[in-house]
Structure 1
């Protein structure tokens, strides 16, 4: 797949700060040539937002420039990739849900921003959100709600209405189940992101409820047969949870064969999710 011709804008702050904080900024990829909104039969294209993984402790938006370019080329849609603050083993490091709070700030920002230089380059009412690995957990934490107690992540009604589809790949959903398969993950990254707990049930999104008043959402869960870092039990648990509660959920567990992050480097993943996006997130309002 040839790289597309793009307008690319980097390090756009979604949380005002001086000096700007790279961890609270995003890059955006806009396919060109682009006609004006008046010349487009359906207006500007939808916006795809990709939330990267990295176990809440590493990776950067620049690691996914190639993926963003391929997605923009395949779909013809605008693609944005944000950073968010990361966890370390330091005592003052951020913990869940602060990573997801950053992503929520980013999403609330892009539905009102529209584009660089005051131009409208995407349809803010047509969002497709993608989360990989821990990025899938963050999106789920925002768009599902805790069964009891105060919800620390509360998206606006505008964001909920504007989001058409959520795609989650190689996701972490049930943390206790993950630790039963990979006990070393506790000290590797779970305690850094969530603190030391005997159980992580409260942070597991398979225990959270969909917002039934927004049942238009289309969900796709993707898992590669070649993933050795996160097992298919995670995606199966999330699929079964959503299947019981939402009207529109699809899974694809057999088409990809690459390793956990390697799926993001090739063409097959882009074809799979790109066609789903075109089919389910049209430019029409």
Structure 2
């Protein structure tokens, strides 16, 4: 296993919150390889890429693909007018990262340059990370034009896996009203509705790959985010792809295999197996 840690994705900066870690499996040789990117959760306010080094190593060895884990700037626990950091800033950082990766320009690590062409990118988002990815890869440009991905980013995407995700914020608050003061108001502003920031009403991006596949995972044991979140995004994605067999080929739902708490899903060997199989299916 080869690792390169704390690589900046904003040229000319040395900001740990805008850096990423790269994990390359020991048997990896192909430059034209798929790459796996894991975007962490933490309610847009916590967690760090360093917490996911074991997960990244296990994913890399199981899939024989490089795994990249980016950080992004976080909303302070007690924001002030001077320190507040609102949506879409977190997703903008991840989009900067994806733009950097697909540019092929990786200064400082020439021996670890991988061009995400051919096999492309497999993007994994957990919790808030799932909202970030769906905000980028579905068309949120009407409300948040800064989240419009460059063509190279869209072209590179082959698969998106969203686990224990938040998608419909108003629906989430109907179930968990205390989340408004816990993190939603700090991240999205304190307002009556968050329909514009929810991803369950967004269209497909123009230019999205015709073979892009989605996998939505939800654990029966999750007490922090309820299954209606995942049900809502699956129903929406299936509608976008026309339903029936066409949607079956593009959208997969996994809500029966996992039975553990919100964060524990990522520690389960089953999670590694499911991701490995999803990536392998894309190689066929």
> Quick check: TM above 0.5?
yes
- 2:88 matches 1:97: yes
Q: Give the Cα separation in 2 of the matches to 1:133 and 1:160.
A: 22
Q: CA deviation at 1:145?
A: 1.1
Residue number among 43, 66, 69 corresponding to 1:81 in the alignment? 69
Structure 2 counterpart of 1:52? 40
Q: Confirm whether residue 122 of structure 1 aligns to residue 111 of structure 2.
A: no
Contact 1:28 1:78 in 2 (8 A): yes
Q: Which residue of the partner structure matches residue 221 of structure 1?
A: 216
TM (norm. structure 2) is: 0.90
* Contact 1:75/1:277 (8 A) holds in 2: yes
1:8-157 correspondence runs (5 A): 8-18=3-13, 20-35=14-29, 37=30, 43-88=31-76, 89-91=78-80, 92-113=83-104, 117-119=109-111, 121-125=113-117, 126-146=120-140, 148=142, 151-157=145-151
Summarize deviations over 1:90-113 as a string: whole Å, max 9, x none: 123210000000000001111123
Q: Across the two proteins, how many residue pairs are aligned to each other?
A: 270
1:191 lines up with 2:161 in the alignment: no
Q: What RMSD over aligned residues (CA atoms) do the two structures have, in Å?
A: 1.7
Distance 1:133 1:197 in 2: 22
Match for residue 257 of structure 2? 255
TM-score (norm. length: structure 1): 0.90
Residue 271 of structure 1 corresponds to 273
Give the whole-Å Cα distance in 2 for the aligned partners of 1:242 and 1:105.
Answer: 25
Where does structure 1 lack aligned partners over 5 or more consecutive residues? Answer: 1-5, 38-42
Kept after mapping to 2: 8 A contact 1:44/1:120: no
Deviation at 1:147, TM superposition (A): 7.3
Q: Counterpart in 2 of 1:40?
A: none
CA contact (8 A) 2:200 2:236 kept: yes
Deviation at 1:152, TM superposition (A): 2.4
| CA positional deviation for 1:120 | 5.4
Contact 1:48 1:79 in 2 (8 A): yes
Alignment partners' CA distance in 2, 1:113 and 1:147 = 25
Contact 2:32 2:114 in 1 (8 A): yes
Unpaired stretches in structure 2, ≥5 consecutive residues: 242-246
User: Distance in 1 between the 2:170 and 2:142 partners?
Assistant: 19
